[in-house]
Structure 1
Amino acid sequence: MDDDTAGTARHTGQGHDVREFFASRAHDWDARFPDDGPAYEAGVAAMELRAGDRVLDAGCGTGRALPALRAAVGAGGAVLGADLTPEMLAAAVRAGRGRLASLVLADVHRLPLPDAALDAVFAAGLLSHLSEPGAGLAELARTVRPGGRLALFHPVGRAALAARKGRPLTPDDLRAEPNLRPLLARSGWDLVRYVDEDARYLAMAVRQGA
């Protein structure tokens, strides 16, 4: 689920709705967004990962962020891609991205990882597809060491995305800074950077407890 394309992907907030939505689109997902590569590279670069870091691409979809994540952490680092939809992971493998990371079929609300196992999490278009956003963010916090980073990313900003889909921005949008900051704080994160412009959306947070 590496792109927030429509609120319809979360009809009732249940995981099977997300899987169904993305399963039917996995075969041509990359072709729909052929120009997003540089935006993903810039989003990963903003995380300032180091060689040897352990990083999760949460809701990795077809794995468009995996090349940049692997390049950032090097051969000695660990890259994990987790997604709820088997068809999206299969598309990642067909694209050759399975060689860059360990791919796992998993729900972000229940990750098969021990506490503090990661240095960072990259999540593209994830927040809108979480059935329980607070619980999902708290689960990501559980898996990241104190001081580790979370990047909530999208290759276009909220206004541009809403215009693309012909729907208005609403005050209850979780990605808006006034809503996101307290949500992250309750979930174990401190928001340290917020960018919402036509060319990208990036909310960077640090794991509390450092």
Structure 2
Amino acid sequence: AAEVPVLALGAGTRMLAPGGRPAVRTGAPAPDAGRAVELTPAAGTDPLFAGAERPSPGLRPARDPLRLPADAVVLASCDGGPEQAFRIGGSAWGVRFLPQDGGADPWGAALLGRFAALVAARSEHTAARAFFTRRAEAWEERFAHQTPAYEAGVARMRLAPGGVAVDLGCGTGRAMPALREQVGAGGRVLGIDVTPAMLAAAARHGRTRHGALLAADCTRLPLPGASVHGIFSAGLLEHLPNPYAALREWARVSARGGVLLLLHPSGRAERAARHGRPLDPADLLAEENLRPALESAGWHLDAYEDAAGHFLARALLA
């Protein structure tokens, strides 16, 4: 559910199949060691297999058939054994053919190298999804008391009817009803989050009545340039590994004069005290740090409030 990358090899691939047991196939003969494993066309666009060379001739195909989910994508096959490698969803791969006699093989080593690179590239998303997936079910109830603060923050955006508003890092989408009220029936509201489980929780709580939900990376938004009139983001920017890149991306998708509203339902001093530490001079949300960070991305800080009960920063795209 958290989309943690998984690579299953050999007999371990049975753990990815329903029940973890081989299927029974009739009619097709079992592959033998002399039959070559070939990549399928789907492998060319697969996140793990793209760019892979043809499997080495010494790699023997798996002989026992395996029952895969209906939505599995077959990435390598051979005569008599169509499911030699496959992907389930966007993050689980199974590779069933192995080196002869358990020896090392350059193709397998290259596969492991690509998987290590994929894990590293997805590490930020994996950590976020792993953290929030197990909390998604109870998130709305746990933080329902913050909804009035979200509504008050959205009110400060002062968006015009008919505009496009984005709740970025939306979680369960608590800001979406207020955003819909501002842009009206003729506007568009998007709730964007990197954790599918949080978006599923948002849907369960009826947020699709107010807008669309989208799983996406906030630093690589699948939105055209200058298409957004308002971005609401609560408790997100300061946790990103590259907040400057995020601010530039948010500026890219925003129309001139677009509004960025950064919110936290508690002030910086309150949060620091809650975690038993003093205020950090290097904190990105400190005004002396946030203002130049915004300006470097094309934003102008219009309002800044770091009060006991909330943090709010409003910026306009120059």
TM over 0.5: yes
How many Å separate the matches in 2 of 1:195 and 1:15? 30
Structure 1 position 164, deviation (Å)? 2.5
1:171 positional shift: 0.8
CA distance in structure 2 between the aligned counterparts of 1:168 and 1:17, rounded to whole angstroms: 26
* Cα offset, 1:35, TM superposition: 1.1
Matches of 1:28 and 1:124 in 2, distance apart? 18
**Runs of 5+ unmatched residues, structure 2:** 1-122
Identity %: 55
Amino acid at match of 1:67: P
| 1:57-110 deviation line (CA, Å, top 9, x unaligned) | 111111010111111111111001110000110110011112211110000010
The answer for the alignment partner of 1:10 in structure 2 is none
Q: Report Cα offsets for 1:155-191 as digits up to 9, x if no partner.
A: 1111112223333321111011001001111112111
1:57 counterpart = 2:167: yes
2:201 is aligned to: 91
Instruction: Count residues with an aligned counterpart.
Output: 197
- Which residue of structure 1 aligns with residue 192 of structure 2? 82
Q: Does 1:151 align with 2:252?
A: no
Partner of 1:43: 153
Q: Which amino acid aligns with 1:22?
A: F
What does residue range 1-210 of structure 1 map to in structure 2 within 5 Å? 14-208=124-318
Structure 1 unmatched ranges of 5 or more = 1-12
Which aligned segments of 4 or more residues in structure 1 are displaced greater than 3 angstroms? none
Provide the rounded CA distance (Å) in 1 between the counterparts of 2:181 and 2:275: 33
Q: Which moved more, 1:24-33 or 1:41-50?
A: 24-33
Task: Specify the structure having the higher radius of gyration (Cα).
Answer: 2
Hey, what's the Cα distance between the residues in 2 that align with 1:94 and 1:81? 14
Contact 1:15–1:131 (8 Å) recurs in 2: no
Give the structure, 1 or 2, with the largest relative contact order (CA under 8 Å, sep 6 or more): 1
Secondary structure class of the residue paired with 1:29: helix
Q: Which residue type is aligned with residue 133 of structure 1?
A: P
Residues 162-171 or 188-197, more deviating: 162-171
Give the aligned residue type for 1:128: E
TM-score, with length taken from structure 1: 0.90
C-alpha RMSD over aligned residues: 1.4
For normalisation by structure 2, the TM-score amounts to 0.60
